Structure 1
Amino acid sequence: MSANAQQAVTPQLRQWIVEQAQAGHAPEVLLKSMCDAGWDEALAAQAMETTLRAHLDQARQATSLPPASAVPEPDLEGSPLYLDAGDRRVHVISVQRSPRIVVFGDLLAADECEALVDLARPRMARSRTVATQTGGEEINVDRTSDGMFFQRAETDLIARIEERIARLLCWPVQNGEGLQVLRYGPGAEYKPHYDYFDPGEPGTATILRRGGQRVATLVMYLAEPEGGGGTVFPDAQLEVAPKRGNAVFFSYERPHPSTRTLHGGSPVVVGEKWIATKWLRQNEFR
């Protein structure tokens, strides 16, 4: 190791410290090597301590994470501007690798958006969320929307959209839950949350029998408000505008906050926001 006149703890130095410790060299040997290379002894000791502590913390976290699952993934090889979704050419507006967030444009036509809203409107009721305590459903004070669920392939329109989504995201159509349509009026919101089912909750085992974990979400915008209503990702410092016909996709390979998929629906300021959400499971959803 060469001397470092500025005494900077570089990524290369941290890697060297970890490699030497993994090779079985005692801390005294590492400290002497750094001092021989020109390091101040106190700074060298501090660099060793912070590097090895961080390495141990990362190792502990890695061993405590739930196992990763395969996730839906649009074919973005070569950074395409458009994707073939079978019956429709979909725009790729933005791509984020970590967390995995993709914004699509023109996924739905204007008449498709209107038709979904018209089909859903007579069946709307106060939105419920999955209750991981019991495996059932409950009204959640964090979600102040109205909503309803379609059965998979309930109509020709819904079947066509579901086939489009399956092709776009390279995921079997049978692994998708039925479309949920939601309406957010002025002031309505959905506070930040995760879509996967918490493995530590007692009702989760019951929920998973229907198709395993949720591994991805697609939010499609059916009607845009005049103000507010964006989809926010606090950990990614990202907000997606609710533009009609567009959609935001995000995946989560394990049910853990490390996926950084915390997200929510900002309060609608003026007008109404209508969305259709498609949740995708590991296995066939029954």
Structure 2
Amino acid sequence: MAASPAQPITPELRAWIIEQAATGISAPALIDAMTHSGWREEVAVDAVEQVLRGHLDQLARQQGLPPAAAVPEPALDESPRWLDAGDRQVEVLMSLANPRVVLLGNVLSQQECEALIAAARPRMARSRTVATATGGEEVNDDRTSDGMFFQRGESELLQRIEQRIARLLHWPIENGEGLQVLHYRPGAEYKPHYDYFDPAEPGTPSILRRGGQRVGTLVMYLNDPPKGGGTTFPDVFLEVAPVRGNAVFFSYERPHPSTRTLHGGAPVIEGEKWIATKWLREREFT
């Protein structure tokens, strides 16, 4: 599989990449093999990404899945330790490719966490979820928390955090919903669910008129519950501990379980949990 760095992606190379990936060889291992064969690393990375993404899109079409959409994405191509979020440096703690999950540290300061809780506390009410059957909202037994929504940009604090998120995830501010703050008391939880809107539900078209599908989620932890309250991803047996100032980001390029973004809020065992969630849409959210 020798190749010169300038060589285009040939049918033979495409078939080799797909064949190797199908046997379980990881993308980094494929890139390493290509660089040892004479490819420049950046060319090998682009070739592997292009071939595998195209192959997955082809498989999705064959299976009748919805088309893939552009998604928010931190700049992780060179495996940086820190990301520039404008007014602060954000730490990259963990990155998972499938599903796309990135754990980030130092997203919010202690003072910002406390200020969000203080601003949200007087406005808390029993959490509601979007009712895709009708396009409205409803109380859901799977979500036993209290919550509230800020309007986008309603305060200097919100504006600062929204600008930071936009820069961090390379996604326009106007494509984000207003920040939601949730409060979980002992025993409260949010059972596993998807954040995208189910295309099969009758109320989804009216929801999508406000900005298209959700394509990404950022969950920011505002305090440190002593036990429980993690964010779980059952499809990959991953649980993210809630640590004040940290955040977990995940994206989903199509509204389908193939994204493996099933997730939930584990029950709080001791203490309480406060989080702030930012949902990101395909287009401007109005």
Alignment pair present for 1:159 and 2:150: no
Q: State the distance in 2 between where 1:60 and 1:227 align.
A: 40
How many angstroms does 1:237 deviate by? 1.0
Q: State the distance in 1 between where 2:201 and 2:129 align.
A: 14
Secondary structure, counterpart of 1:64 in structure 2: coil
Alignment pair present for 1:197 and 2:166: no
**Structure 1 unpaired stretches of 5+:** 1-11, 16-57
Q: State the distance in 1 between where 2:189 and 2:170 align.
A: 30
AA partner of residue 192 (structure 1) = P
Secondary structure, counterpart of 1:78 in structure 2: coil
Secondary structure, counterpart of 2:206 in structure 1: helix
Secondary structure, counterpart of 2:119 in structure 1: helix
Encode CA deviations 1:68-126: one digit per residue, 9 max, x unaligned.
Answer: 00000100121000000000100000000111000000100000000000000000000
CA pair 269-60 structure 1, distance change in 2 beyond 3 A: closer
CA pair 60-153 structure 1, distance change in 2 beyond 3 A: closer
Q: State the distance in 2 between where 1:102 and 1:223 align.
A: 19
CA pair 121-64 structure 1, distance change in 2 beyond 3 A: same
Q: State the distance in 1 between where 2:243 and 2:128 align.
A: 24
Q: Kindly report which structure 2 residues correspond to 1:110-259, keeping only aligned pairs within 5 A, or say none.
A: 110-259=110-259
Q: Name the residue aligned to 1:8.
A: none
How many angstroms does 1:62 deviate by? 3.4
Encode CA deviations 1:217-259: one digit per residue, 9 max, x unaligned.
Answer: 0000001211000000001110000000000000000000000
Secondary structure, counterpart of 2:181 in structure 1: strand
Q: State the distance in 2 between where 1:172 and 1:62 align.
A: 32
Q: State the distance in 1 between where 2:276 and 2:60 align.
A: 39
AA partner of residue 130 (structure 2) = V
Q: Name the residue aligned to 1:74.
A: 74
Encode CA deviations 1:142-198: one digit per residue, 9 max, x unaligned.
Answer: 000000000000100000000000000000000000000000000000000000000
Q: State the distance in 2 between where 1:118 and 1:245 align.
A: 15
AA partner of residue 104 (structure 2) = F
Q: State the distance in 2 between where 1:258 and 1:165 align.
A: 26
Q: Name the residue aligned to 1:47.
A: none
AA partner of residue 275 (structure 1) = I
Encode CA deviations 1:47-74: one digit per residue, 9 max, x unaligned.
Answer: xxxxxxxxxxx95873310010000010
AA partner of residue 84 (structure 1) = D
Q: State the distance in 2 between where 1:70 and 1:224 align.
A: 33
Q: What is the percentage of aligned positions where both structures have the same residue?
A: 72
Q: State the distance in 2 between where 1:177 and 1:236 align.
A: 27
Query: Which 10-residue stretch deviates more, 125-134 or 59-68?
Result: 59-68
Encode CA deviations 1:194-215: one digit per residue, 9 max, x unaligned.
Answer: 0000000000000000000000
Secondary structure, counterpart of 2:63 in structure 1: helix
Q: Name the residue aligned to 1:277.
A: 277
Q: State the distance in 1 between where 2:59 and 2:218 align.
A: 32
**Structure 2 unpaired stretches of 5+:** 1-15, 20-57
Q: State the distance in 2 between where 1:60 and 1:249 align.
A: 24
Greater than 3 Å deviation, 4+ residue runs: 58-63
Q: State the distance in 1 between where 2:77 and 2:281 align.
A: 24
Q: State the distance in 1 between where 2:60 and 2:171 align.
A: 33
Secondary structure, counterpart of 2:153 in structure 1: coil
Q: State the distance in 2 between where 1:269 and 1:73 align.
A: 33
Q: Which has the larger radius of gyration?
A: 1
CA pair 254-226 structure 1, distance change in 2 beyond 3 A: same
